[in-house]
Structure 1
Amino acid sequence: MAKNALQAQLLKAGLVDAKKAKKINQQQQHAIKTGHNEDDVKQALAAAQAEKLARDQALNRERQHALELKTQAANIRQMLSQHQIKDTSGDVTYQFIDAGKIKKIYVTQEVYDQIVKGRIAIARLDEHYPLLPRALADKIAERAPEVIVIRNEKTVPQQGIDEDDPYAAYVIPDDLMW
């Protein structure tokens, strides 16, 4: 029943029973008939494991990136809600464009002047527009520039004014009301 000497010795010693030896022989015969040997199977298994590992790592990277984006958005929302300037409602209307639509907020004259000068910025938080100090708006703009709606820069007057311009004496104010 045993085809090689090692199997015969294992059977004699009682380490392997006859059923197991027969099963191993059948597997060897099947591998010979089908042309598969153990090395090919091991290589295919190793390749499949490597491919699965690569897929798992890519999926893990995507999940980690999504988690980082979610965490960053939560941090920005928290900064906006905690550090917004309170008690800004007043009678003066400040109008601005957000997503192609004209929006308006009612602020005090002091706040209006600070928005125009660039000391206060306007951000978007869901359907609301919180007012933020300039330093915080700059930090948020580094992480998520789409959140900041208005962040006026201090304008430097143009040096090259044309002398022949008949309207040179008429300066357009920065805080022109619509």
Structure 2
Amino acid sequence: MEVFWSKGFRSTSFEDLTKKTKVKKQSLYGVFEDKRTLFLKALALYRDHNLQNLQEIMAQADSPAGKIDAILRASLCANSEDARRGCLMVNTALEFGVSDLEVTKQVEGMHNDVQLALEEVIEEGQAAEQFTTKFTSTELALHLSNALQGVRVSQKSGVDHQQTEAVLRTAFGLIMK
């Protein structure tokens, strides 16, 4: 996963993978028939890890506003190395577009997972009158998800941290009442 995240699918060679995993090429081929199969497993692992991380972040807060604030803080805390690498799913979407159905399903799945988690928190916050009801929870979740993805693209392309922080603070702030 780390190699694909750093180099992208097309730029990653089997030599890169064997060097990182310390597994011989034949053994790697024995478990994963090809590089693409291994890549799909890496995407699934990344997706599972990030969804679990998001759920843990939200579980630590006791109110919808606290959950949204915790997600914002976690999004802002990406160190410069992580920011330069970007998000594996966003990087993959940019590399593949919609040219590979299975890859697209993983990318869309991650997007949907994040959106549904945000939507749930926003619905809860709207019911508690902490968040605006000017837009539906679905619309607001789409907005926040899009802002998070956009910031990852900006970070990967070297946009200043202060600018990306301003984008996220604004996007998250717009849902508050």
TM-score class, shorter: under 0.3
Indicate the structure with greater strand content: 1
The alignment's TM-score, normalised by the length of structure 1, stands at 0.27
Indicate the structure with greater helix content: 2
Higher relative contact order (CA 8 A, sep 6+): 2
The alignment's TM-score, normalised by the length of structure 2, stands at 0.28
Larger Rg: 1
